[in-house]
């Protein structure tokens, strides 16, 4: 008997339908010498520390780091899971061959192999079904091309390393920081400080961005502009930091004629957009419709399971060469929905450029595209996502957009000015998209230029514009996903972002879950489209002194190694040795870190040493004008000297500390004014102690 194991019941039903297997049993479908059964996602997990050693049921720093000699497995604690697993185990024991039909990726492989291991059926012959979509044709084709399951051993190695590395770092760091910092001042109430190999660097990125904004000091500037023939010209020199020089130039050109010195027109081609991978789809959905990354993934997964789009958890924006013959057929199937958009395309001669077809840039799965199957009634989010994917798919085959960029240079009394304008010559692919909002005039000017002539001259209207520099923007899910994909760097260029993908934080499949985990643990919050760190999140980052644990680059390097394990370029054992060594060093260095009793700390405003006065603590730079003061008595609460040192030596803004036996934080704003912030008690904290 052949046994097929899928990740979800719905996929099992789809496969059974295609294979014409109809005999439904409890927990599986059988017929024609085959049994198709299913998991409910993850059925199997790693043992808890107390199940290796009863002493580990107590959270004590002297037991850390705890690293099992060999990881062992157990079922997730759920009665329904236990019943289904018994069904799977019995079928596997009877099987002559087992087919892995879980999601074709790292986590899907882990689900299957863990089930196999806990069933003690690892020695059975295994085959791999690799699906890019759930259409009947795709399922039939995949069954014709079943692979030896052991060809995917390296994929399993990477998945197992990810699982065990997250367990080791997350468990040890969470226990250590919770025991050491979760209870202060004699309180019996403990805060669970959840720390993870992936989630903590993401939180640190958000805290760092918020602090950049808090500490930003706006600087005034003045810009000299003039209006000639209703076109805005800008002074070609730098912006003025003081008004005197700007005013001097303004007076120099007032009443003087303006002359056109040169006109330069260049044609510019804008290539059609590339197909979506999951991250770019999530970013676009957040940008256009405000959808969260999790909602976008959920909607795309639903579209995949209803056979409307291909596999969603992909990091590729390209198609395989063998997809070429299918594309015209998909376009024809979409014609009833998008007749006007598809009509200009010659389906017999579609432009399969390197921006669309590139086998070298397709990893486990190709880009997300529609399958061509007609949608019926869709939910609101599903309709939005389906429309985005379909429009992007059609636009990829459209002609380039041809623009003419005109640069006009002018002069008044030897003061030089410049204006830029954009003229659309051939809209190409842009006709499929709403006209984008105009960019900031400081970056580009889309003015429609009149017909200027070199040497023409006339009156103009010069003026000074006063402004102030602006801080960086708070993260949105769009920009946060982009920074995660580029290992903490803000990258807008497609080519550079592609090069950094190997070192991205998390994977397309996990980034949404990372953001949701931080939200659920009250470390970040949504404020409309903005993602902000909470006082809880800020306090956690203040407590962590180890820079590697907060480093997006370090996490990106780990992710890169996991991808190399997938490709058999790095050994799993070497990666795990690095993780174990890192965890031991983390506990050792964190234990060695202590508050310096010989000093109070540094000023959060200027960095100078803090000194103690009669009633409060203040900055030693007060003579130079620094206004920072910390009053240890606030709202009936008093900070001890130890708490003041802890507060001021945490090196982050705003500072956070537990006070006496009160379940609250004292948070200092960037101006040094203390505020009481209530925090959830331990029983309200998330109980998951193996964070990602």
Q: What is the pLDDT of residue 187?
A: 43
The CATH classification number of 278-395 equals 1.10.290.10
666 has a pLDDT exceeding 50: no
Q: What is the pLDDT of residue 378?
A: 95
Q: What is the pLDDT of residue 149?
A: 96
* Buried/exposed code over 268-295 (b: 16+ C-beta within 10 A; e: otherwise): eeeebbbbbbbbbbbbbbbeeeebbbbb
Ranges of CATH 1.10.460.10 domains, the chain: 165-215+474-592
Q: Are 52 and 74 in contact (CB under 8 A)?
A: no
Q: Are 426 and 406 in contact (CB under 8 A)?
A: no
Q: How confident is the model at residue 680 (pLDDT cuts 50, 70, 90)?
A: very low
Q: How confident is the model at residue 496 (pLDDT cuts 50, 70, 90)?
A: low
Q: What is the pLDDT of residue 650?
A: 62
CATH 3.40.50.10470 matches 2-145:
no
Q: Residue 72 CB: number of other CB atoms within 10 A?
A: 12
What is the percent of the chain where pLDDT is above 70?
87
Q: What is the pLDDT of residue 289?
A: 95
**Per-residue pLDDT averaged across 187-199, rounded?**
78
Which helix (H) or strand (E) is 110 found in, with range?
Answer: helix 106-118
Q: What is the pLDDT of residue 221?
A: 96
For residue 198, which of 172, 242, 228, 162 has the smallest C-alpha distance?
162
Q: What is the pLDDT of residue 652?
A: 41
660 has a pLDDT exceeding 50: no
Ranges of CATH 2.70.20.10 domains, the chain: 220-271+401-468
Q: What is the pLDDT of residue 469?
A: 94
> Vertex 175, ends 171 and 179: CA angle to 5°?
175
Q: How confident is the model at residue 36 (pLDDT cuts 50, 70, 90)?
A: very high
Q: Locate tokens 């660097």: which residue?
A: 201
The CATH classification number of 165-215+474-592 equals 1.10.460.10
pLDDT tens digits, residue range 81-100? 999 999 999 999 999 999 99
647 has a pLDDT exceeding 50: yes
Residue predicted with more confidence, 155 or 591: 155
Q: Are 662 and 611 in contact (CB under 8 A)?
A: no
439 has a pLDDT exceeding 50: no
Ranges of CATH 1.10.290.10 domains, the chain: 278-395
Dist. CA 256–CA 268, nearest whole Å: 35
Residue predicted with more confidence, 71 or 663: 71
**Per-residue pLDDT averaged across 68-84, rounded?**
93
495 has a pLDDT exceeding 70: no
Q: What is the pLDDT of residue 406?
A: 94
Q: How confident is the model at residue 638 (pLDDT cuts 50, 70, 90)?
A: low
**Per-residue pLDDT averaged across 462-475, rounded?**
95
pLDDT tens digits, residue range 208-263? 998 888 878 899 999 999 999 999 999 999 999 999 999 999 999 999 999 999 99
Q: What is the pLDDT of residue 246?
A: 94
**Per-residue pLDDT averaged across 10-19, rounded?**
94
For residue 403, which of 385, 421, 382 has the smallest C-alpha distance?
421
Mean of all residue pLDDT scores within the chain? 87
- Strand 530-533 vs strand 524-527: parallel, antiparallel, or unpaired? antiparallel
Beta strands in 32-96 (DSSP E): 34-38, 44-46, 73-75
315 CA to centre of own chain:
12
Q: What is the pLDDT of residue 491?
A: 59
What is the percent of the chain where pLDDT is above 90?
68
Q: What is the pLDDT of residue 217?
A: 86
121 has a pLDDT exceeding 90: yes
**Per-residue pLDDT averaged across 129-135, rounded?**
92
Architecture per CATH, domain 220-271+401-468, reads as Distorted Sandwich (2.70)
**Per-residue pLDDT averaged across 166-171, rounded?**
95
Q: How confident is the model at residue 690 (pLDDT cuts 50, 70, 90)?
A: very low
**Per-residue pLDDT averaged across 620-628, rounded?**
85
Dist. CA 681–CA 539, nearest whole Å: 15
Residue predicted with more confidence, 398 or 650: 398
- Residue 672 phi/psi, 5-degree rounding, is 85, 10
Beta strands in 396-515 (DSSP E): 401-412, 415-426, 457-458, 461-468, 475-476
Q: How confident is the model at residue 443 (pLDDT cuts 50, 70, 90)?
A: very low
Which helix (H) or strand (E) is 84 found in, with range?
Answer: helix 79-94
Q: What is the pLDDT of residue 484?
A: 92
114 given a catalytic annotation: no
Show contacts of 283-286: CB within 8 Å, 24+ apart.
283/477, 283/478, 283/481, 283/482, 284/388, 284/392, 284/478, 285/384, 285/385, 285/388, 286/476, 286/477, 286/478, 286/481, 286/529
Ranges of CATH 3.40.50.140 domains, the chain: 2-145
For residue 637, which of 184, 192, 181 has the smallest C-alpha distance?
184
Least confident range from 7-21, 97-111, 244-258, 598-612: namely 598-612
pLDDT tens digits, residue range 349-364? 999 999 999 998 997 8
Marked catalytic residue, from 176, 235, 311, 523: 311
**Per-residue pLDDT averaged across 28-37, rounded?**
96
Q: What is the pLDDT of residue 488?
A: 73
Dist. CA 474–CA 532, nearest whole Å: 7
Q: Residue 2 CB: number of other CB atoms within 10 A?
A: 15
Dist. CA 313–CA 371, nearest whole Å: 16
659 has a pLDDT exceeding 70: no
């Amino acid at each position: 008997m052949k046994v097929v194991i899928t990740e979800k019941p719905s996929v099992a039903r789809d496969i059974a339908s295609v294979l014409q297997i109809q005999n439904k049993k409890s927990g599986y479908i059988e017929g024609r010498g085959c049994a198709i059964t299913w998991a409910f996602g993850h059925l199997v997990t790693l043992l808890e520390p107390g199940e290796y050693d009863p002493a580990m049921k107590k959270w004590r720093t002297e037991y850390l780091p705890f690293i099992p000699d060999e990881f062992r497995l157990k079922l997730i604690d759920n009665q329904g899971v236990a019943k289904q697993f018994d069904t799977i185990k019995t079928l596997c024991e009877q099987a002559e061959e087992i087919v892995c039909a879980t999601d074709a990726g790292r986590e899907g492989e882990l689900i299957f192999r863990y089930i196999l291991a806990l069933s003690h059926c690892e020695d059975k012959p295994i085959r791999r079904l690799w699906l890019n979509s759930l259409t009947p044709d795709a399922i039939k084709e995949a069954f014709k091309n079943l692979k030896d399951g052991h060809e995917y051993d390296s994929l399993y190695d990477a998945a197992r390393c990810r699982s065990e590395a997250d367990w080791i770092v997350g468990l040890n760091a969470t226990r250590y920081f919770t025991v050491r910092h979760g209870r202060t001042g004699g309180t019996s109430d403990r805060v669970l400080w959840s720390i993870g190999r992936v989630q903590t660097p993401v939180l640190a990125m958000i805290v760092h961005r918020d602090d950049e904004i808090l500490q930003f000091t706006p600087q005034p500037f003045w810009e000299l502009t003039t209006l000639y023939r209703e076109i805005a010209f800008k002074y070609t020199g730098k912006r003025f930091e003081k008004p005197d020089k700007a005013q001097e130039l303004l007076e120099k050109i007032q009443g003087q004629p303006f002359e056109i010195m040169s006109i330069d027109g260049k044609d510019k081609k804008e290539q059609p957009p590339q197909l979506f991978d999951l991250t770019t789809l999530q970013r676009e959905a957040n940008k256009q419709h405000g959808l969260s990354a999790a909602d976008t993934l959920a909607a795309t997964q639903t579209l995949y399971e209803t056979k409307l789009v291909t596999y969603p958890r992909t990091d590729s924006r390209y198609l395989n060469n063998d997809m070429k013959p299918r594309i015209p057929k998909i376009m024809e199937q979409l014609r009833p929905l998008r007749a006007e958009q598809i009509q200009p395309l010659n389906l017999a001669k579609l432009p399969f450029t390197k921006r669309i077809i590139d086998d070298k840039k397709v990893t486990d799965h190709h880009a997300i595209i529609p399958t061509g199957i007609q949608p019926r009634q869709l939910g609101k989010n599903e309709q939005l996502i389906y429309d985005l994917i379909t429009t992007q798919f059609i636009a990829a085959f459209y002609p380039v957009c041809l623009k003419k960029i005109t640069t006009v240079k002018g002069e008044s009394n030897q003061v030089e000015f410049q204006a830029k304008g954009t003229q659309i010559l051939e809209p190409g692919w842009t006709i499929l998209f709403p006209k984008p909002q105009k960019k900031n005039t400081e970056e580009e000017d889309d003015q429609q230029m009149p017909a200027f002539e070199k040497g023409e001259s006339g009156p103009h209207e010069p003026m000074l514009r006063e402004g102030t520099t602006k801080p960086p923007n708070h993260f949105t899910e769009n920009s946060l996903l982009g920074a995660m994909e580029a290992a903490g760097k803000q990258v807008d260029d497609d080519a550079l972002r592609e090069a950094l993908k190997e070192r991205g934080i998390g994977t397309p499949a996990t980034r949404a879950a990372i953001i949701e985990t931080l939200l659920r643990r009250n470390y970040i919050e949504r404020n409309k489209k903005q993602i902000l760190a909470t006082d809880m999140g800020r306090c956690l980052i203040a407590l962590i002194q180890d820079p590697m644990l907060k480093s997006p680059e370090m996490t990106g390097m780990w992710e890169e190694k996991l991808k190399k394990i997938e490709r058999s370029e790095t050994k799993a054992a070497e990666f795990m040795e690095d993780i174990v060594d890192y965890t031991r060093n983390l506990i050792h260095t964190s234990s060695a870190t202590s508050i310096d009793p010989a000093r109070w700390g540094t000023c959060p405003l200027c960095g100078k040493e803090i000194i103690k006065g009669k009633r409060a603590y203040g900055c030693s730079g007060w003579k130079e004008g620094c206004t920072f003061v910390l009053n240890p008595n606030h709202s009936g609460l008093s900070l001890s000297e130890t708490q003041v040192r802890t507060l001021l030596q945490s090196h982050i803004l705003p500072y956070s500390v537990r006070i006496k036996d009160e379940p609250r934080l004292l948070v200092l704003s960037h101006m040094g004014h203390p505020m009481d912030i209530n925090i959830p008690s331990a029983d309200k904290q998330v109980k998951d102690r193996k964070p990602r």
